[in-house]
Amino acid sequence: MNRRKFVSLGFFGSGAGMFGYGSLIERRFPVVERVDCRLPERHAELDGLRVAAMSDFHHDDFHDDTLMARAIEATNALEPDVVMLPGDFISRDVAGMDALVVHLAGLRARLGVFAMLGNHDQWSRRSEAVAGKLEKAGVPVLRNAVTTLRAPSGQRFHVAGLESAWAGRPDPHAMLRGIASDDPVLLGWHEPDPWDWLEDRRVLLQVAGHTHGGQVCAPFYGAIQLPHLGERYVAGLFERDESRLYVTRGIGSLGVPVRFCCPPEIALITLRAPERV
């Protein structure tokens, strides 16, 4: 065997090994990412509120019930106050919702579980069917809508949801109409980059998905390919003045059943009051 053939076999062998690891191991074991989100002083009474987030299930693509069972079990073990599911429950086939909602119906949170729609959910007039199956499973869908809750401290806050910026008709102004000027809002909005469009101090935190964190990432480089409206904020917590954005890597896989250097994620975001000296 000459040197070129040896190198070629080594390259393709490494590629096959990475594909096997990314498909059979990494994509099937969700990890919990715990992050503290600092509050402005005026919302200090929300200190300790725990928000769990999962997104981008794409359950019709690979129908991985083992992955979903692990994700639900791990989320419930966190004992969150609120669970937010910011979209892309399917890729294209609404029939995939039937198995998915069986899992999602098992989610538990002290104050409630809330869904928002992603671009895949809203393309090709699928949104009514997707929302209907979620609602039937006991998961309210917030489409340019708000629900009002009380934290354990008694502090009033709101969970809001906007339609997909890519495929829907999001209307933040109409959504927030009637919300008091200093009331805190936790917003689920599928695409992260429109965070730059938000200029409302009531929106304390936007929870987004959409990017999959890149899904397949190169060591020391990061995401190889990113979607429209998900190129600026890829994964993790971002801060700007008193506003925060958290982008979760999501649970499922799109296109190919592989994740590499980018495992599925359940986020636990804990709101923290400013430290007093």
**DSSP codes joined into one string, the chain:** --HHHHHHHHHHHHHHHHHHHHHHTGGGS-EEEEEEEEPPGGGGGGTT-EEEE-----HHHH--HHHHHHHHHHHHHT--SEEEEES---SS-TTHHHHHHHHHTT---SSEEEEE--HHHHGGG-HHHHHHHHHHTT--B-SSEEEEEE-TTS-EEEEEE---TTTS---HHHHHTTS-TT--EEEE-S-SGGGGG---TTEEEEEE-SSGGGSBEETTTEES---TT-SS--SEEEEETTEEEEE---SS-SSSS--BS---EEEEEEEEPPPP-
Instruction: Tell me what pLDDT residue 10 has.
Output: 40
Query: Is residue 206 a part of any domain in this protein?
Result: yes
Distances (CA, A) of 192 to 88, 118, 238, 239: 13, 11, 10, 13
Q: What percent of the chain has pLDDT over 70?
A: 91
Asked if pLDDT for residue 175 goes beyond 60, the answer is yes
What HEC string does 4-53 produce?
Answer: HHHHHHHHHHHHHHHHHHHHHCHHHCCEEEEEEEECCHHHHHHCCCEEEE
CATH number at residue 26: 3.60.21.10
Question: For residue 2, what pLDDT is reported?
Answer: 52
- The answer to whether position 254 is within a domain reads yes
pLDDT at 124: 76
Each residue of 189-217: pLDDT tens digit? 999 999 999 989 999 999 999 999 999 99
Q: Please check whether residue 277 lies inside any domain of the structure.
A: no
> Considering its fold, how many domains does the chain have in total?
1
- pLDDT above 90: percentage of residues in the chain: 87
- Region 19-32: mean pLDDT is 79
pLDDT value at residue 18: 56
* 222 pLDDT more than 80: yes
Inform me whether the pLDDT recorded for 136 exceeds 90: yes
**Average pLDDT in the 116-139 region?**
96
pLDDT at 275: 83
Judge contact between 202 and 175, C-beta under 8 A.
Answer: no
Q: What is the mean pLDDT of the chain?
A: 92
**pLDDT for the residue numbered 277:** 45
Q: Is 70 exceeded by the pLDDT of residue 274?
A: yes
pLDDT digits (tens, 9 = 90+) for 53-99: 999 999 999 889 999 999 999 999 999 999 999 999 999 999 999 99
Residue 164 scores a pLDDT above 80 = yes
pTM for the model stands at 0.92
In a domain, 262, yes or no: yes
Average the pLDDT over 166-178 and give the result: 96
Greater confidence (3 vs 225) lies with 225
Residue 228 domain boundaries: 3-272
| Residue 25 pLDDT | 81
**Whether pLDDT at 225 is above 50:** yes
